[in-house]
Amino acid sequence: MTILVIGKQGQLALCLGAAGHKDVVCLGRPEVDLADETLLARVLNMVTPKIVINAGAYTSVDGAESDAENAFALNRAGPAALARLCAARGIPLIHISTDCVFDGEKAGPYEPDDEARPLSVYGESKWQGEEAVRQLCPQHLIVRVSWVFSEYAHNFVRTLLHLARTRDELTVVEDQVGYPTYCPDIAEGLLTMAAAAVQPGFAAWGTYHLAGMDETDRASMADAIFAASRHLGGPSARVIGVPTSDYPTPAKRPLNARLASTTTFLTFGIRLPDWKTRLEHSVRVLTSDLAAAPAAEPKR
Ligand SMILES: NC(=O)c1ccc[n+]([C@@H]2O[C@H](COP(=O)([O-])OP(=O)(O)OC[C@H]3O[C@@H](n4cnc5c(N)ncnc54)[C@H](OP(=O)(O)O)[C@@H]3O)[C@@H](O)[C@H]2O)c1
């Protein structure tokens, strides 16, 4: 069965491609574009997938604040077109979403059916994309992920290691909590969900969370990254924890980004491992990548 992944160079698309599943076909721009419905239709007709995973999105959370038109084009209109095209062909759609649909005010981890109250343009665009998929493609799995890291593409681990090459101290927020999740584990989980969804009689369509279960805050995660890097002889910096109120960014982020994945376990039997067991591998690959690239300026 062919599993068509929309996206090719992004973190999740790379992990889905690297998962070694012989049936996965990853297509990104220019072969496929979420902003081009005709191209999407042509690709679906050519590939005739058994199921589609949409790993493509406008993902710059801060960038979306001043680029709402493009954020909504890729995160709402694109998934809406894809959902319509999939439904017309009887193809199930797995659509990836985010913790940023929530405001982070809840005391505990978010359940899939908790009320969405996005704080940012990015979060609002992703929420409206979810709603479009729900309305237009009955055979959908909307899968929210958060705090995704890996040795692939851009993510928090790569950014911090990169910055530590030229800085001795880094300011990191200490009051945003979440469940860091290793992207190759998400990819494996999505492929398990895809395999279940194409079985005859599958009926558990709906919204799910796919995240780890080990809580941390951003500053503590940064400490763990640098501890692993120091151990491997890589770059590290002293982490100065600050409240979010002292670290203004264009987009507001939820202070609580914890996604409860219990229903994903009960429905699909998926439980993701502790992120700390995955961190060393990512740091090892990234530090050796960074060692090969010159730092922009010497460390102060
Ligand atoms: N990273 C996180 O921490 C995080 C957290 C919560 C939710 N998510 C969600 O997880 C999903 C995957 O994110 P990621 O971390 O893999 O992001 P990423 O590394 O920024 O990758 C973005 C992906 O979007 C694709 N894309 C961009 N514009 C496109 C267009 N016009 N048409 C088709 N594809 C387009 C890119 O494809 P090509 O460059 O190959 O064309 C790329 O594969 C997204 O839905 C994101 O909202 C991520």
What H or E segment, with its residue span, contains residue 1? Answer: none
Which residues form the domain of 55? 3-154+180-213+258-274
Please report which residue ranges of the chain form alpha helices under DSSP H: 11-18, 37-47, 68-72, 78-89, 121-136, 156-164, 183-197, 218-231, 262-268, 276-292
CA of 233 to the centre of ligand 1 (A): 31
Whether 168 is covered by a domain: the verdict is no
What would the two tokens of residue 215 be? 């809580």
Residue 188 above 70 pLDDT? yes
Tell me the per-residue pLDDT of 71-85, one tens digit each, with 9 for 90 and over. 999 999 999 999 999
CA of 7 to the centre of ligand 1 (A): 7
Residue 110 bears catalytic tag = no
Q: Is 130:77 a contact under the CB 8 Å cutoff?
A: no
The CATH number of whichever domain residue 26 belongs to comes to 3.40.50.720
Helix (H, G, I), strand (E, B) or coil at 150: coil
Interaxial angle between packed helices 78-89 and 121-136, expressed in degrees from 0 to 180 and rounded to the nearest 10? 20
Residue 165 above 70 pLDDT? yes
Q: Name the pairing type of β-strands 24-27 and 140-145.
A: unpaired
Nearest atom within ligand 1 for CA of residue 96: 45
Q: Whose CA is nearest to atom 5 of ligand 1?
A: 146
30: number of CA atoms within 13 Å, CB side?
0
Sequential DSSP letters for 78-133: HHHHHHHHHHHHT--EEEEEEGGGS-S--SSPBPTTSPP---SHHHHHHHHHHHHH
Strand partners, 110: 259
- Residues for the chain: how many in total? 300
Q: Which of 58, 122, 182, 208 is catalytic?
A: 122
Q: Whose CA is nearest to atom 26 of ligand 1?
A: 56
Whether 240 is covered by a domain: the verdict is no
284 exposure class (CB count in 10 Å sphere: 0-12, 13-18, 19+) = middle
Q: Name the pairing type of β-strands 216-217 and 148-149.
A: unpaired
CA of 79 to the centre of ligand 1 (A): 12
pLDDT score for 266:
97
pLDDT score for 291:
76
User: What's the domain count of the chain?
Assistant: 1
Whether 14 is covered by a domain: the verdict is yes
As a whole number of angstroms, the distance between CA 101 and CA 119 comes to 8
Nearest atom within ligand 1 for CA of residue 8: 40
Probe residue for ligand 1, chosen from 59, 74, 126 as the CB with the greatest number of ligand atoms within 8 Å: 59
> What CA–CA distances, in Å, run from 232 to 73, 282, 284?
42, 11, 7
pLDDT score for 112:
98
CA of 132 to the centre of ligand 1 (A): 18
Q: Whose CA is nearest to atom 39 of ligand 1?
A: 9
What would the two tokens of residue 107 be? 């005391």
Mean pLDDT calculated for residue range 25-43: 96
Whether 223 is covered by a domain: the verdict is no
Q: Is 174:219 a contact under the CB 8 Å cutoff?
A: yes
pLDDT score for 143:
98
Whether 77 is covered by a domain: the verdict is yes
Whether 248 is covered by a domain: the verdict is no
Ligand 1 pocket residues where CB is under 6 Å: 6-13, 28-29, 32-35, 55-57, 59, 74, 96, 98, 126, 145-148, 153-155
Whether 104 is covered by a domain: the verdict is yes
Residue 298 above 90 pLDDT? no
As a whole number of angstroms, the distance between CA 257 and CA 218 comes to 11
Mean pLDDT calculated for residue range 215-240: 96
Whether 81 is covered by a domain: the verdict is yes
pLDDT score for 20:
75
Q: Is 232:225 a contact under the CB 8 Å cutoff?
A: no
Q: Whose CA is nearest to atom 19 of ligand 1?
A: 10
Q: Who's near 285: CB < 8 A, 6+ residues apart?
A: 151
Q: What is the mean pLDDT of the chain?
A: 95
pLDDT score for 296:
61
CA of 295 to the centre of ligand 1 (A): 26
